[in-house]
Amino acid sequence: MSDAVITGCSGLIDYGKQNILGVGVNAVNYEAALNHIFAAAREQRSLAVSALAVHGVMTGALDAVHRHRLNGLELVVPDGQPVRWALKWLHGIDLPDRVYGPTLTLKVCERAEKENLSVYLYGSRREILDKLEANLRRQFPSLKIAGGQPSRFRQLTADEQIETAGEIRESGAALVLVGLGCPRQETWVFENRDLLPLPLLAVGAAFDFHAGTVPQAPKWMQRRGLEWFFRFVQEPRRLWRRYALLNPLFLLLLFLQITKLRTKALDETVVPQTRLRFG
């Protein structure tokens, strides 16, 4: 197990990146994640961030090209309880909690308000962005929202990608919250990290949750790693394949890695990149 960077009074925990099925996941708590994000925001430098649950890890475990993208992100936090448990089973790292994307989103907005730094909202649909912005302003009255842009739900041209990045830079935003859905949002963050000198955070379903359009699982289900079941009940037709196939496969591959019957180094091969330019 790697040595942790821990500062007593702040409770910062950071064991660095750890291999889960070939995907590098940072064994951090909220405080460490926020420190990384806001150090980059204050210094106006790029930081590619994602919060991965089981589905997100599996997109990398099963696809070498996407694994290369995920392992090119500087900060990948353990969004799901099973991912947090995997860190313990594989590497002996027992984090006090996961780093849940929707909660991280609120903590980012809270600190951005305190530090007078503006955020930009990218992704989803216009009506979702409007509700999200209204709810964030109610919760954080002094939060500066530099702008927002909905997804086009298609591949962007090279010119559109450059134009979008230019609009975000010109907005004066200190960081960008990205809600395009997994794995499109991780691809967007990977492909734009060199165009935007600021933190880019792929936060999954946080936009829908905080806009109030999709309900979150009860806390007791979240603590027990049953959020997947709650979401499946909400959208069985869309999600049944994800949970019926990927969850058991995740456990199987995890068992194989724990028993060393299957090992995979982080990004062990250089994979040619196909620029998808999602937006």
Provide CB contacts within 8 A for 148, sequence distance 6+: 120, 121, 122, 129, 133
> What's the token pair of residue 192?
């734009």
235 within domain boundaries = no
pLDDT on residue 154: 84
pLDDT in tens, the chain (279 residues): 445 555 444 589 999 999 999 999 999 999 999 999 999 999 999 999 999 999 999 999 999 999 999 999 999 999 999 999 999 999 999 999 999 999 999 999 999 999 999 999 999 999 999 999 999 999 999 999 999 999 988 888 889 999 999 999 999 999 999 999 999 999 999 999 999 999 999 997 899 999 988 777 788 877 877 777 777 777 777 766 777 788 899 999 999 999 988 776 665 555 555 556 667
Residue 199 located in a structural domain? yes
The answer to whether residues 215 and 244 touch, using CB atoms and an 8 Å cutoff, is no
Taking a C-beta distance cutoff of 8 angstroms, is the pair 140, 117 a contact? no
Instruction: Please identify which residue in the block is written with the tokens 């702040």.
Output: 10
Decide if 197 is inside a domain: yes
Q: Quick check: is 77 in a domain?
A: yes
Q: Is residue 230 part of a domain?
A: no
* pLDDT on residue 276: 63
Retrieve residue 31's tokens. 């405080």
> Is residue 254 a part of any domain in this protein?
no
Within-domain flag for 274: no
Q: Which two tokens stand for residue 259?
A: 């028993």
**Which residues are paired to 7 by β-bridges?**
12
- Cα separations in angstroms, 187 against 77, 141, 180, 218: 16, 32, 10, 30
Coil, helix or strand for 15? Answer: strand
Per the document, the length of the chain is 279
Helices (H) and strands (E) in the chain, counts: 13, 9
> Which of 246, 268, 94 shows the shortest CA–CA distance to 183?
246
Q: Which domain holds residue 67?
A: 5-151+161-211
Tokens 């935003």 -> residue: 173
Count the domains in the chain: 1
Q: Determine the pLDDT at residue 105.
A: 97
With respect to residue 231, please indicate whether it lies within any of the assigned structural domains. no
pLDDT at 6: 53
pLDDT at 10: 59
Output the pLDDT for position 4.
54
- Around Cβ 186, how many Cβ atoms within 10 Å? 29
Task: Read off the pTM.
Answer: 0.89
